[in-house]
């Protein structure tokens, strides 16, 4: 029920039903909205309905809030995380921010290893939350064995810490199966034809994608991945990147995040960083939605799908992983 009484000539539109007062930021995680991007889609000749799952409405402004809380909760329940023990992980920023915030709220020290090409805005937020940041050269990710070597280094340097291991912790996709997928299915009333996401850890697309496929096997799961020019190489270890999003097509299993289910994708499309940046700027100007570079990538792919005549009348849901405010120093917005 909504109160529409007037106070001094101004209409009051607040709901008369009180919302609960929460005592912890973890109680604010999830139940993110779907927003129809009608101006952005229609002005580009879309035939399908394009919906954005706006994950930056989570308290730490990204989809990673979901898995950070799930991983910490699971570790506490199993007695692996307790007062005095610290948290450590590899991150491209958002999971580190979410883990650092929840760690701060629960009194755990935290330490994160970031590639030195990570957005400076993300690094500053992590440090502001009181966590330690260790910078590693972006060139390490050129080596197919680089990630495994970094994990070994972390475990050696932090023998007493709890390694949250977002890339391989099965709690990650399980949380998206339990929350993200059901929210999308419920809010679309089961009317969804395509689900579009990038692969960071692989948890979102694998967990939510699996749930959606179980409800309707005809739903197509489409992955947005960086094009080759947007990946670090020996010739260019610091290209313009889609921050935190990884290539998956054509890679061996050992090169993929363990949480990524390579059987989940019906289609994989490449997006160059500059195209992702352009879409992020466009949706900001046309919808007022401030999104990051990874969202620019998923929106690029979602728009391509929406422009196909055979998809007329269908519904496409694209994940918006985080806010554009995390990329003001990273070249996304000029």
Domain boundaries, the chain: 25-61+170-327, 64-163
CA distance 268 to 221: 9
Q: What are the structure tokens assigned to 8, written together?
A: 């001094």
Model pLDDT for residues 284-328, shown as the tens digit of each residue: 999 999 999 999 999 999 999 999 999 999 999 999 999 999 999
Per-residue pLDDT, 69:
98
pLDDT of 317 reads 99
Residue 144's pLDDT band (boundaries 50, 70, 90)?
confident
Q: Please name the fold of domain 25-61+170-327.
A: Rossmann fold (3.40.50)
**Mean pLDDT rounded to a whole number for the chain:** 94
Position 2 pLDDT exceeds 80: no
Q: What is the mean pLDDT of residues 259-271?
A: 98
**Nearest to 318, CA basis, from 58, 53, 36, 46:** 53
- 72 with 80: CB under 8 angstroms? no
pLDDT digits (tens, 9 = 90+) for 187-228: 999 999 999 999 999 999 999 999 999 999 999 999 999 999
Question: How many C-beta atoms lie closer than 10 Å to residue 157's C-beta?
Answer: 12
pLDDT higher than 60, residue 6? no
What tokens were used for 26?
């973890």
Q: CB–CB of 141/28 below 8 Å?
A: no
Do the two domains 25-61+170-327 and 64-163 of this chain adopt the same fold?
yes
- Residue 13 has what pLDDT? 76
- Least Cα distance to 203 among 64, 51, 102, 69 occurs for 64
Cβ-contact 69, 102 below 8 angstroms: yes
Task: Note whether 193 and 219 are within 8 A (CB).
Answer: yes
User: How high is the pLDDT of residue 9?
Assistant: 61
pLDDT over threshold 80, residue 85: yes
Cα separation, 52 vs 283, in Å, equals 11
pLDDT category of residue 42 using cuts at 50, 70 and 90: very high
Between 12-16, 56-60, 147-151, the lowest mean confidence (pLDDT) is in 12-16
Q: Which residue has the tokens 């990147």?
A: 241
According to DSSP, the residues that pair with 93 across neighbouring strands are none
Q: Using only C-alpha atoms, what is the Rg of the chain?
A: 20
Cα(254)–Cα(251) distance, rounded to whole angstroms? 8
Residue 8 has pLDDT above 80, yes or no: no
> Considering only the top CATH level, what class is 64-163?
alpha beta
DSSP 45-62: T--SEEEEEEGGGSTTSB
Which residues, including other chains, have CB under 8 Å from residue 13's CB and lie 6 or more apart?
Answer: 2, 3, 4
The residues carrying an active-site annotation are 64, 294
């Amino acid at each position: 029920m909504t109160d529409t009484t007037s106070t001094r000539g101004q209409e009051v539109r607040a709901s008369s039903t009180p919302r609960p007062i929460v005592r912890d930021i973890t109680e604010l995680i999830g139940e993110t909205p779907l927003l129809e991007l009608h101006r952005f889609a229609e002005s580009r000749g879309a035939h399908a309905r394009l919906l954005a799952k706006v994950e930056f409405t989570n308290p730490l402004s990204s989809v990673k809030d979901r898995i950070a809380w799930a991983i910490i909760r699971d570790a506490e329940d199993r007695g692996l995380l307790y007062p005095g023990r610290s948290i450590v992980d590899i991150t491209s920023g958002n999971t580190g921010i979410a883990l650092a915030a929840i760690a701060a709220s629960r009194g755990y020290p935290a330490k994160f290893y970031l590639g030195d090409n990570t957005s400076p805005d993300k690094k500053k937020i992590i440090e502001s939350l009181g966590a330690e940041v260790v910078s590693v050269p972006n060139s390490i990710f050129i080596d197919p064995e680089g990630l495994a070597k970094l994990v070994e280094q972390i475990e050696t340097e932090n023998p007493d810490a709890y390694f949250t291991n977002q890339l391989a912790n099965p709690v990650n996709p399980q949380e998206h199966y339990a929350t993200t997928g059901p929210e999308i299915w419920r809010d679309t009333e089961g009317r969804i034809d395509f689900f579009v996401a990038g692969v960071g850890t692989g948890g979102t697309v694998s967990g939510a994608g699996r749930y959606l496929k179980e409800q309707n096997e005809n739903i197509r799961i489409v992955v947005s991945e960086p094009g080759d020019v947007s990946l670090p190489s020996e010739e260019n270890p610091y290209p313009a990147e889609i921050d935190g999003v990884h290539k998956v097509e054509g890679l061996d299993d050992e090169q993929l995040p363990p949480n990524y289910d390579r059987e989940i994708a019906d289609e994989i499309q490449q997006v160059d960083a500059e195209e992702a940046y352009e879409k992020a700027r466009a949706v900001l100007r046309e919808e007022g939605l401030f999104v990051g570079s990874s969202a620019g990538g998923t929106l690029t792919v979602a728009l391509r799908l929406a422009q196909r005549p055979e998809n007329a009348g269908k519904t496409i849901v694209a994940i918006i992983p985080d806010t554009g405010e995390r990329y003001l120093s990273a070249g996304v917005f000029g």
